[in-house]
């Protein structure tokens, strides 16, 4: 299996969808490549799990086709698709031992007992389940149970894709890191396509090669963590990724100048005419702003300073518009002015990023 | 340490309950115990017999003993047959039931119907239904060339009371199992599909383990009910032919009210009572063990 293609996949849970709002998942065109780890990131109810269940065949999409390596599998049952999926809450067969649990997917598919046993030992080793292999699965801790669920997902080495639906929700925070790195190791060892659903940006950004940001059943952007950070294609992506999120300021843009609350701000590039009649915003990450003394800064009023330990953030107002800026050591926030890195400024019209002329058409790299 | 008011007069509030229990349970029980150690030749004259009745009752070589053990084995056999049929059948029916819509409503109503029919009415229905001359069932079976007459054949009589009980009570087991099945989260079925489990494997590893608690309750209810069954065989076969379908409870009534052998009957009912207490204790132990298991993994269950 090399590639999974979503060709206009959309889904509505109601039988006769009328409006856009009836769709849990709006038409989606995507291609996913083998060997990469993808994260589906978005708030609860944005359609992540729906998409995952469509991939595994637990749900039949109301529109569109799903292709595995060019073969239409939309109507194939789950069993035939050869996909592994791990759910948010641990599902274990509690009358079996841990070993039997791990071997179950192999046994059902008629894998030779010797090969299955070898594989189970490997996976148990990887997940740290070896000491409890012969215990009954009932009565184990939630952590251990979820490890078993993960193990059942990882145990088949020939799967087309491994789908993980917020698998670390029930895991203790200090164990999460450990388990996530074990998962990453497993992914590298397996060289499979992996799809990881989460609403936790740190989890998505540290785990995945490509992150798909979703909202309200729509895909807003797909890209590497760096791309999402540096060039959010949508206001929502800017807000959702990064902590704190991106600053957005209503602006009027003409050529390479923007005017915010009466102040002129130079832009990194000259923009052509923007669509009329839609709100235009200027976006910049707090990381590319700083308060400082000196000429050429924008006058701001200080609201408060948040000391995060490793850095300090100043909440200020530029005219009526609030924003968050970095506060370097030794700067007096009360008298300082705001400096923006003009190369890191993005222009958004109607919530979508306007690419500056001459920018290479950014492909959803993959 | 404990600054709540403490007043021993509060014990007086328990008196009404004590009085009722004394009057409705303890005194009658003591009367039975009293009878069981005495003999009477009528005229309200009683003679001390010690544990004589018990000795006779538990010695299979005596008349009373062989009669008691015969009835006891018949009751146990009946319960065993009933459970062996109703439990698997109930599970099977529950698995086949529709999951929603009007079909489910229709099924539930149909299945609840036999449960609403009183015991003696069930007996009467089958007494007529199974007759060879005017009963549809008996007539058809006879017409098929099978010799079937529940008043004369031991096998026919047993067949009739067994099928009657299955007809009456399988839906109870089915409804209980259905409730148990509905409580299984969808995630288990989805995981099983992902794991490529066959229908049989889903039943063996998901449904059956999750039904365990419900099944314990179903078995308890059906065992108790069938072990003390009285009305249906009494109405249909009257305990016959001979005493082939004389269950423990029927025999007890014959002894106490038919022959007015108060001493023997009292001893028999005490032993009957002890058997039921012992069975209850076994079930109670099993249930609490299951509960403890559930408790132990309580936090782990979380959102399952």
Residue-by-residue DSSP string for A285-308: -GGGEEEESSTTPEE-EEEEEEE-
Higher pLDDT, B304 or B107: B107
Q: What is the mean pLDDT of residues B159-176?
A: 93
Q: Does B197 touch chain A (CB under 8 A)?
A: yes
Percent of chain A with pLDDT over 90: 4
Task: Give the CATH number, domain containing residue B115.
Answer: 1.10.3720.10
Q: CA nearest A163: which of A175, A172, A152, A177?
A: A152
In angstroms, the separation between the Cα of residue A146 and the nearest Cα of chain B is: 10
**Nearest CB neighbour to A95, from listed B187, B209, B296:** B209
Residues of chain B with C-beta less than 8 angstroms from the C-beta of A104: 195, 197, 205
- Kindly state whether residue B182 falls inside one of the protein's structural domains: yes
Residues on chain A bordering chain B, Cβ-to-Cβ distance under 8 angstroms: 53, 56-58, 77-79, 83-85, 87, 89-91, 93-96, 104-105, 108-109, 138-142, 145, 149, 152-153, 170
Q: How many A-B residue pairs are in contact by the CB < 8 A criterion?
A: 68
Residues of chain A with C-beta less than 8 angstroms from the C-beta of B198: 108
| Domain boundary residue, one of A187, A208, A238 | A238
The reply to whether A257 and A225 lie within a common domain is: no
For residue B298, give the chain A residue with the closest CA: A139
Taking an 8 Å cut-off on Cβ atoms, the answer to whether B293 and A139 are in contact is: yes
Q: What is the pLDDT of residues A320-344, one digit of tens each?
A: 888 898 888 888 877 888 888 888 8
CB B171 within 8 A of CB B115: yes
> How many CB atoms within 10 Å of residue A145?
26
The reply to whether A51 and A142 lie within a common domain is: yes
Beta bridge partners of residue A338, listed in sequence order: A291, A298
| The pLDDT of residue A365 | 39
Residues of chain B with C-beta less than 8 angstroms from the C-beta of A83: 194
Residues of chain B with C-beta less than 8 angstroms from the C-beta of A79: 193, 196
- The mean of the pLDDT values for chain B is 87
| The pLDDT of residue B103 | 92
Q: What is the mean pLDDT of residues A10-29?
A: 82
For residue A104, give the chain B residue with the closest CA: B195
Distance CA A81, CA A92 (A): 22
The reply to whether A273 and A231 lie within a common domain is: no
Torsion sign across C-alpha atoms B53, B54, B60, B64: positive
pLDDT at A366 over 80: no
Residues of chain A with C-beta less than 8 angstroms from the C-beta of B211: none
CB A283 within 8 A of CB A346: yes
Taking an 8 Å cut-off on Cβ atoms, the answer to whether A152 and B201 are in contact is: no
Distance CA A10, CA A70 (A): 19
Taking an 8 Å cut-off on Cβ atoms, the answer to whether A139 and B198 are in contact is: no
Beta bridge partners of residue A63, listed in sequence order: A10
Q: Does B184 touch chain A (CB under 8 A)?
A: no
Q: Is A350 helix (H, G, I), strand (E, B) or coil?
A: coil
pLDDT at B179 over 90: yes
**Nearest CB neighbour to A84, from listed B188, B194, B209:** B194
pLDDT at B197 over 80: yes
Residues of chain A with C-beta less than 8 angstroms from the C-beta of B304: 89-91
**Nearest CB neighbour to A170, from listed B187, B190, B302:** B302
- Kindly state whether residue A360 falls inside one of the protein's structural domains: no
Give yes or no for a cis peptide into B241 (omega within 30° of 0).
yes
Residue range(s) defining the domain that contains residue A293: 247-354
Q: How confident is the model at residue B299 (pLDDT cuts 50, 70, 90)?
A: very low
Higher pLDDT, A177 or B93: B93
Q: Residue A38 corresponds to which tokens in the numbers above? A: 């993808």
- Kindly state whether residue B221 falls inside one of the protein's structural domains: yes
Q: CA B294, B295, B297 angle in degrees (round to 5)? A: 70
Q: How confident is the model at residue B83 (pLDDT cuts 50, 70, 90)?
A: very high
- Kindly state whether residue A364 falls inside one of the protein's structural domains: no
Q: What is the pLDDT of residues A212-265, one digit of tens each?
A: 998 888 888 898 988 888 889 999 998 888 888 899 988 888 888 888 888 888
The reply to whether A63 and A193 lie within a common domain is: yes
Residues of chain B with C-beta less than 8 angstroms from the C-beta of A143: none
In angstroms, the separation between the Cα of residue B304 and the nearest Cα of chain A is: 6
Q: How confident is the model at residue B101 (pLDDT cuts 50, 70, 90)?
A: confident
pLDDT at B258 over 70: yes
Torsion sign across C-alpha atoms A168, A172, A173, A174: negative
| The pLDDT of residue B297 | 55
Residue range(s) defining the domain that contains residue B168: 68-301
Q: What is the mean pLDDT of residues B45-50?
A: 82
In angstroms, the separation between the Cα of residue A236 and the nearest Cα of chain B is: 30
Residues of chain A with C-beta less than 8 angstroms from the C-beta of B195: 104-105, 108, 152
| The pLDDT of residue B24 | 93
pLDDT at B185 over 70: yes
Q: How confident is the model at residue B181 (pLDDT cuts 50, 70, 90)?
A: very high
Taking an 8 Å cut-off on Cβ atoms, the answer to whether B194 and A149 are in contact is: no
- DSSP for B142-163, please give it: HHTT----TTT-HHHHHHHHHH
pLDDT at B36 over 80: yes
- Kindly state whether residue A359 falls inside one of the protein's structural domains: no
pLDDT at B298 over 60: no
In angstroms, the separation between the Cα of residue A28 and the nearest Cα of chain B is: 24
| DSSP-derived secondary structure letter, B10 | G
The reply to whether A170 and A276 lie within a common domain is: no
| Domain boundary residue, one of A238, A269, A288 | A238
- Kindly state whether residue A365 falls inside one of the protein's structural domains: no
| The pLDDT of residue A360 | 57
- Kindly state whether residue B280 falls inside one of the protein's structural domains: yes
Task: Give the CATH number, domain containing residue A137.
Answer: 3.40.50.300
pLDDT at A32 over 50: yes
Q: Does B187 touch chain A (CB under 8 A)?
A: yes
- The mean of the pLDDT values for chain A is 85
| The pLDDT of residue B2 | 62
The reply to whether A270 and A133 lie within a common domain is: no
Q: CA A79, A82, A86 angle in degrees (round to 5)? A: 90
Q: Does B205 touch chain A (CB under 8 A)?
A: yes
Taking an 8 Å cut-off on Cβ atoms, the answer to whether B190 and A152 are in contact is: no
Q: Please enumerate in sequence order all residues whose Cβ is within 8 A of that of B281, keeping only pairs 6 or more positions apart, or say none.
A: none
Long-range pairs of B25-32 with CB within 8 A, sequence gap ≥ 24: B32/B266, B32/B269, B32/B270
- Kindly state whether residue A363 falls inside one of the protein's structural domains: no
Q: CA nearest A241: which of A273, A272, A213, A280?
A: A213
The reply to whether A77 and A200 lie within a common domain is: yes
Higher pLDDT, B303 or B7: B7
pLDDT at B196 over 60: yes
The reply to whether A261 and A280 lie within a common domain is: yes
- Kindly state whether residue A99 falls inside one of the protein's structural domains: yes
Domains in chain A: how many in total?
Answer: 2
Residue B108: is it exposed, middle or buried by C-beta count within 10 angstroms (0-12/13-18/19+)? middle
| Domain boundary residue, one of A238, A258, A274 | A238
**Nearest CB neighbour to A93, from listed B193, B205, B299:** B205
| The pLDDT of residue B300 | 42
Domains in chain B: how many in total?
Answer: 1
**Nearest CB neighbour to A152, from listed B195, B293, B303:** B195
């Amino acid at each position: 299996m090399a590639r999974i293609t979503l060709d206009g996949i959309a889904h509505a849970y109601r039988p006769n969808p009328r409006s856009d709002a009836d769709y849990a998942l709006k038409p989606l065109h995507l291609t996913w490549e083998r060997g990469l780890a993808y994260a589906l990131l978005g708030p609860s109810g944005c359609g992540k799990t729906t998409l995952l269940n469509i991939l595994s065949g637990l749900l039949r999409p109301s529109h569109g086709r799903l292709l595995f390596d060019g073969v239409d599998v939309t109507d194939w049952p789950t069993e035939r698709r050869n996909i592994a999926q791990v759910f948010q809450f641990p599902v274990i067969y509690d009358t079996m031992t841990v070993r039997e649990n791990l071997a179950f997917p192999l046994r059902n598919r008629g894998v030779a007992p010797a090969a299955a046993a070898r594989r189970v030992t490997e996976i148990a080793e990887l997940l740290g389940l070896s000491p409890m292999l012969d215990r009954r699965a009932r009565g184990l801790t939630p952590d251990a149970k979820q490890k078993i669920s993960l193990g059942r997902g990882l145990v088949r080495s020939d799967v087309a894709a491994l789908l993980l639906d917020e698998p670390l929700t029930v895991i203790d925070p200090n164990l999460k890191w450990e388990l996530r790195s074990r998962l990453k190791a497993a992914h590298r060892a397996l060289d499979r396509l992996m799809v990881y659903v989460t609403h936790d940006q740190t989890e998505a950004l540290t785990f995945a090669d490509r992150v798909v940001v979703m909202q309200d059943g729509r895909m807003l952007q797909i890209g590497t963590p760096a791309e999402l950070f540096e060039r959010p294609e949508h206001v929502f992506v800017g807000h959702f990724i990064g902590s704190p999120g991106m600053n957005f300021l209503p602006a009027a843009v003409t050529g390479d100048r923007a005017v915010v609350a009466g102040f002129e701000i130079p832009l990194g590039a000259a923009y052509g005419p923007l669509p009329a009649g839609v709100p235009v915003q200027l976006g910049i990450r707090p990381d590319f702003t700083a308060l400082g003394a000196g000429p050429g800064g924008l006058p701001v009023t200080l609201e408060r300073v948040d000391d995060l330990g490793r850095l300090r953030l100043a909440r200020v107002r530029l005219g009526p518009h609030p924003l968050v800026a970095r506060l370097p050591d030794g700067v007096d926030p009360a008298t300082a002015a705001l400096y923006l890195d003009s190369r890191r400024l993005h222009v958004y019209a109607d919530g979508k990023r306007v690419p500056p002329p001459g920018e290479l058409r950014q492909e959803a790299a993959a | 340490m404990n600054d709540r008011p403490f007043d021993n007069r509060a014990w007086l509030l328990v008196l009404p309950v004590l009085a009722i229990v004394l009057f409705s349970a303890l005194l009658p029980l003591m009367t039975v115990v009293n009878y069981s150690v005495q003999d009477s030749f009528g005229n309200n004259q009683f003679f001390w017999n010690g544990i004589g009745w018990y000795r006779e009752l538990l010695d299979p070589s005596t008349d009373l003993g062989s009669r008691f053990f015969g009835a006891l084995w018949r009751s146990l056999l009946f319960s065993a047959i009933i459970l062996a049929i109703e439990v698997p059948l109930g599970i099977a029916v529950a698995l086949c039931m529709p999951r929603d819509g009007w079909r489910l409503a229709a099924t539930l109503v149909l299945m609840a119907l036999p449960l609403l029919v009183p015991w003696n009415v069930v007996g009467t229905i089958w007494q007529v239904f199974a007759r060879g001359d005017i009963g549809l069932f008996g007539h058809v079976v006879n017409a098929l060339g099978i010799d079937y007459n529940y008043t004369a054949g031991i096998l026919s009589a047993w067949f009739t009371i067994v099928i009657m009980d299955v007809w009456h009570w399988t839906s109870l087991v089915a409804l209980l199992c259905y409730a148990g099945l509905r409580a299984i989260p969808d995630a288990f079925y989805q995981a099983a599909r992902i794991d490529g489990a066959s229908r049989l494997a889903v039943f063996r590893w998901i449904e059956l383990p999750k039904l365990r608690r419900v099944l314990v309750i179903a078995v308890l209810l059906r065992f108790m009910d069938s072990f003390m069954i009285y009305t249906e065989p009494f109405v249909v076969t009257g305990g016959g032919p001979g005493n082939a379908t004389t269950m423990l409870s029927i025999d007890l009534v014959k002894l106490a009210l038919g022959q007015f052998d108060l001493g023997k009957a009292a001893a028999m009912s005490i032993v009957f009572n002890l058997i039921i207490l012992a069975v209850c204790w076994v079930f109670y132990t099993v249930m609490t063990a299951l509960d403890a298991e559930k408790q132990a993994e309580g936090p782990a269950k979380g959102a399952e």
